[in-house]
Chains A and B, each alone.
Chain A
Amino acid sequence: MTVDDLGLRRLRQVFEGPGAVIRTGPFNARLGAAIGELTDAFRTLYGDYPVLDGSADDEIIDFDIRVVPTSGVRRWLWPRVTCLVDGRHRFLPLPRAQALAMFEWAFNWCVFSRPNAWLILHSGVVERNGCALLLSGSPGAGKSTLAAGLCLRGWRLLSDEVALIRPGTRSVTPVPRPVGLKEESIGVIRAFDSRAVIGPTCTGTRKGTVAHMRPPADSVARGLETAEVRWILFPTWARGEPARLTPIPRAEALLRTGREAFNYSLLGESGFETLAGIVDRCECLALRYGDLEQAARLLTELADGAAPATVRRSVEADR
């Protein structure tokens, strides 16, 4: 059963009551909010997610996230919301109009900060023909916009924010979630494809105006299907420029990807060996693009024309 299958009335009872337990990739999350408009947004963005019963004794709930209105008399003048993660306050309250943004950030925080069984890179990941493309680079480089665009052109979304990689492998575990869009990228995706389902827009957040795109149903359904990294891509949005791919040195790719990782240092040698092993076997590319359609076409051609992954090992890998 999916969130959509529940129907709005039942969803309200669950989401605004004990919480709805959904599965995303390897995680079970109990999500709830005593805020009506958030239920609608949740349904828009999470409609394809499988809903679990949540009552079975052997079911592990990895995260419990609940957005609730703040108490006190000020709530009548300045309605604010706060977020409880596993029953504890983890974030400062925000205006009620930003409840969805808070909910998504809390969910991200849970995914980023818990599972040290993976090397966690701050990268989007999409897949085509069984090969995964890591979208790496610093915040604001256009990773999520590109991930959204590629999903709308037939690529599978594994994540727009985080690559979970099993140490010692190139295998990415999916965590498909709504794709976070900021500022002008919201309009870019709306204009790019009318099929894009975009949830409510939150303005004035610490990241500016944000909105989220519902992930493709197929990506959610294949949430347990891993993919091996074949390319590491560093995209840069460059207004007016034609889409262009250029190789970048592997050493640079390793250092830049490691800088944006969440737990690379924490994993120590295992983190280095995992990342170096990925760089050994991947093409490392920079993409400058000013036209999303052109960029999507270029990357799709790359994926469709790719020979089976060649193994290029560094000198030390054989020692």
Chain B
Amino acid sequence: MTRKQTSWRVPDGAGLRWRSWDGDHVLYHGASGDTHHVSAVAAAALRYLETQPAGIEQLSRHLERQLGLEAGPEFVGQFEQMLGRFDELGLVEVVS
């Protein structure tokens, strides 16, 4: 599977709980018991991946619509890094 074809999703049983105040997003991850303070972009991405699996392109389009971002090549690279970090934390998994 090429990188472009890779899809991620929030695993079943992740147990994510959210709070958002004045543009600040806090996420409780039931599977690990950890609480994270996440950016608006990260929050929008994770919330989307809670509803359906998606690859980079689909996610980028969603964030462009949702947050009014212009997802150029640099943004996509950063976004891949962020997904990698989420994967390490167990917040997302690659869909095989």
Contact = CB atoms under 8 A, between A and B. Distances in A.
A280 B24 CA distance: 13
Contact of B24 (A249, A258, A316): A249
Given A269-B15, A269-B17, A272-B35, A249 B30 contact: no
Interface in B1-49: 15, 17-22, 24-26, 28, 30, 33, 35, 37
The B interface is mostly helix, strand or loop, or mixed, namely strand
Contacts, number: 51
Contacts of B25: 251
Contacts of A317: 19
The A interface is mostly helix, strand or loop, or mixed, namely helix
Interface size class of chain B, counting residues whose CB lies under 8 Å from the partner chain: 10 to 19
Given A269-B28, A272-B28, A251 B19 contact: yes
A250 B22 contact: yes
A251 B33 contact: no
Interface of A: 249-252, 254-255, 258, 265, 268-269, 272-273, 276, 279-280, 314-317
18 contacts: A249-B21, A250-B19, A250-B24, A251-B37, A252-B37, A255-B26, A255-B35, A255-B37, A269-B15, A269-B28, A272-B17, A272-B35, A276-B17, A279-B19, A314-B21, A315-B19, A316-B20, A317-B19
Nearest to B24: A251
Nearest to B21: A250
A316 B17 contact: yes
Contact of B17 (A250, A258, A273): A273
A314 B23 CA distance: 10
A261 to B, nearest CB: 10
A87 to B, nearest CB: 33
Contacts of A272: 17, 28, 35
Contacts of A273: 17
